[in-house]
Amino acid sequence: MLNVPLFVLFARIFSCMMLIMTKKKLITPEELDNLVSVGNPQIAPDAMQILYTRKCAKDGVNHTTIWLAQTKGTVKPRQLTTGGKDRMPRWSPDGTKVAFIRESKTGSQIYTIDMDGGEAQQLTHFPEGSITEMQWSPTNGSLAVSYRKTEEPYTHAAGETRKENKESDPPIITESAWYRLDGDGYFGHARFELYLVDTTTGSYKNIWSKDTMGFFSFCWSPKGDNIAIATNTSKDAITDSLPTKIVIHDVSTGKNTILPNCTKGPKDAIIWSPNGKYLAWAGREGDESTYSTENLELYVASATKGNAKSITSDIDRCLMAVTLSDTGDVSFGSWLHWTHDSKNILVKIGWHGEEQICTISRNGGKLKTLTTGKAIHSISNFASDGKNCAMMVGSATTPPEIYVGKLGATTLTTKQVSFENTQWCQEHAVATPKDTWITSKDKTKIHCWIMRPPSQAANRRNKPAVLQIHGGPHCQYGWMFFHEFQCLASAGYTVIYCNPRGSKGYGRDHCDAIRNDWGGADWVDMQSVIAMMQKDKKINRKNMGVMGGSYGGYMTNWIVGHTNEFTGAITDRCVSNLVSMGGNSDFADKEDGYFGGNFWSRPEDRWRQSPIRHFGNVETPMLIIHSEGDLRCNIEQGEQVFAALKLRGIEARFVRYPHSTSHGFSRGGALDMRKHRLNEILSWWNRQLK
């Protein structure tokens, strides 16, 4: 040491200090408190500013406010509202005002802000209820609003009165099969209806109340004289989308006219062309909803004569191929937008784990991709020039951020304008997944991702690995940031995830392969993924776990009933028994629909595909995670798994989350519950995997 020149010694000491100072943090469940979720960007009519929502932790709870970013220059975004429960900002067509929704204990109300200055002012005074969508009229004078009034016995005021009188909560009474929805709760016979709100006085009137389920979509005509509504008024709407129609509402007369010559089947995301001559929507022929193994197609029709035609029927792409994540809202819907000249339509397409913006002529033809890269792209709205737009872009290593896009003849260029998580990503050991393709036994190509743990992760020498299986099943994993995956990687686990048959993003046949055959082609594909893991030299084949949520929980249950290759398993908000599932989900299974037979007198198909049928074979220790407030996959599905394991003497742990949580709480629920769940997962793997 004495022979080393002082400047070299100092350089070495400085390098060591810098290494210590710049050592990146491992990602833990608690880091949820420091991640920011952005959403719903809206570009101003003059394209100079973009509104967006910013959700982050404040005092241990989610706090959502509206922010304003400049599209040019380097000025940092500024906070526009402070309510903490503000969402859905919308520019007025002249750019002078912003309308948004503010939530409270007594429901949703619309507020407005004058962009020349001043505080937010309450515009509406709806009775207690919910708002799901609102659109400014092109003339600034009205807002079209989807609003549902809460039934009186279930209002906040009624609840407070019962507390004062020491009375019990009332029963829920219904004569409709549609009375609850996961994440929305029990709403009884109340339905979302369409209202017009005067933007000066806040007065409102109902213009459409006939939709059976309240799932209608709507849009203004360019002149603001009409509103198009895609709606299903059938009493059997919960099981039959054939009657879905397009209604044209005349704003001045109140007259409703049904658009003629439209195909029978679901219709959603309706949009009016700028020249007023055409309507476009996402749909298909048939009685199923927009969520199906079949591709959701793009339809164009005359705004007066109808004559609807699918212009993508010969293109094997689905308009609803959703990519899952836990750092942003997941919406099973479509996005469409007309170009300024009314000649082309923009759509968002999920394909091979990406989501890209594409364009197609209104007359049909080739689908042209405008964006590129291993990323998730989405557009919210366009400025008045029809060129500039508000976007969100995310990847597997960066949570979504706000961008301004500019539409050209053949490309859509992007510029980032929010940097909410940039520093967080720089400070943390974010694992980078690599994708690969494998071939299953029947020659099917399966898209897989491998996420290795960062170098400083503690468990790398034991080579543990976790296979993650997505829910749906008709959606996809892909190039989207997943905090849960990053937690596992930071804890030393190699994370494997894939899109087996049943997934969207690989064509109609790939998705349709498991229709009425869960545990068939998907299990063939998963066996090949398991074999890939076993051959991986960086994975200890005796130190592997499997986990998944919803349908991913189904497949986890199926796997442990058919193989003992995994040391442990986690089944989350699972499906275990398709017979009982048929009647206790918020969407009841109709007879001879997606599954054959029915769940009351012809249950054979459902029982054949039920994992619980094979639990006499299970030897794998299991953690069962479920929410008592789950209305999609009822908690009895997890209870059956736990009961079967305990009766057979198999190691099991059951974590039941309260009624305040729902099926999707791992993505957007209360922060304390989300962190608790992640810590339970890590604790279980620490217990089962060496």
pLDDT digits (tens, 9 = 90+) for 601-625: 999 999 999 999 999 999 999 999 9
**For 97-133, what is each residue's pLDDT tens digit?**
999 999 999 999 999 999 998 899 999 999 999 999 9
Calpha distance 506→350 (Å, rounded): 9
- Mean pLDDT in residue range 408-414: 95
For residue 556, give the amino acid letter. Answer: T
Per-residue pLDDT, 332: 86
- The CA-atom distances, in angstroms, between 154 and each of 107, 129, 149 are 12, 10, 10
Count of C-beta atoms within a 10 Å radius of residue 213? 17
Per-residue pLDDT, 459: 67
- The CA-atom distances, in angstroms, between 219 and each of 146, 230, 621 are 11, 9, 52
Per-residue pLDDT, 457: 83
Q: What angle do CA 321, 234, 593 make, to 5 degrees?
A: 50
pLDDT band at 519 (very low <50, low <70, confident <90, very high): very high
Query: What value does the mean pLDDT of the chain take?
Result: 95
Report the SS3 class of residue 370: coil
pLDDT of residue 2 exceeding 90? no
**Environment class of 28 (CB within 10 Å of its CB; exposed 0-12, middle 13-18, buried 19+):** middle
Domain locations in the chain? 430-688
pLDDT of residue 12 exceeding 50? no
Report helix, strand and coil shares of the chain as percent, to nearest 5. Answer: 20, 35, 50
Nearest to 143 by CA among 71, 73, 91, 179: 91
Q: What angle do CA 456, 461, 467 make, to 5 degrees?
A: 90
Count of C-beta atoms within a 10 Å radius of residue 292? 21
- Mean pLDDT in residue range 27-33: 97
Per-residue pLDDT, 22: 59
**Environment class of 286 (CB within 10 Å of its CB; exposed 0-12, middle 13-18, buried 19+):** middle
User: Given CA atoms 67, 68, 70, 76 in this order, what sign does their dihedral have?
Assistant: negative
With b for 16 or more beta-carbon neighbours within 10 A and e for fewer, the 152-189 pattern comes to eebbeebeeeeeeeeeeeeeeeeeeebebbbbeeebbe
425: left (phi over 0), alpha (psi -120 to 50) or beta: alpha
pLDDT of residue 628 exceeding 70? yes
Active site (catalytic) residues: 550, 663
Token pair in block for residue 474: 């008709």
For residue 337, give the amino acid letter. Answer: H
Calpha distance 160→211 (Å, rounded): 31
User: Given CA atoms 49, 50, 53, 57 in this order, what sign does their dihedral have?
Assistant: negative
- Mean pLDDT in residue range 654-670: 95
Report the SS3 class of residue 588: coil
Are 356 and 370 spatial neighbours (Cβ–Cβ below 8 Å)?
Answer: yes
Residues in a beta bridge with 623: 570, 653
Helix axes 671-688, 483-490, angle to 10 degrees: 40
pLDDT band at 245 (very low <50, low <70, confident <90, very high): very high
- Mean pLDDT in residue range 283-308: 97
Per-residue pLDDT, 330: 75
The percentage of the chain sitting over the pLDDT mark of 90, rounded to a whole number, equals 93
For domain 430-688, is the CATH number 3.40.50.1820?
Answer: yes
**For 134-191, what is each residue's pLDDT tens digit?**
999 999 999 999 999 999 999 999 999 999 999 999 999 999 999 999 999 999 999 9
User: Given CA atoms 672, 674, 677, 682 in this order, what sign does their dihedral have?
Assistant: negative
**For 443-460, what is each residue's pLDDT tens digit?**
999 999 999 999 888 766
pLDDT band at 690 (very low <50, low <70, confident <90, very high): confident
Per-residue pLDDT, 5: 46
**For 374-396, what is each residue's pLDDT tens digit?**
999 999 999 999 999 999 999 99
pLDDT of residue 16 exceeding 50? no
pLDDT band at 666 (very low <50, low <70, confident <90, very high): very high
Are 402 and 69 spatial neighbours (Cβ–Cβ below 8 Å)?
Answer: yes
- Mean pLDDT in residue range 204-215: 97
Nearest to 533 by CA among 503, 494, 484: 494
Q: What are the E-state strand segments in 152-233?
A: 180-181, 185-186, 193-198, 204-208, 217-220, 226-231
pLDDT of residue 265 exceeding 90? yes
Overall residue count recorded for the chain in this entry: 690
- Mean pLDDT in residue range 658-685: 96
Per-residue pLDDT, 537: 96
Q: What angle do CA 228, 216, 307 make, to 5 degrees?
A: 45
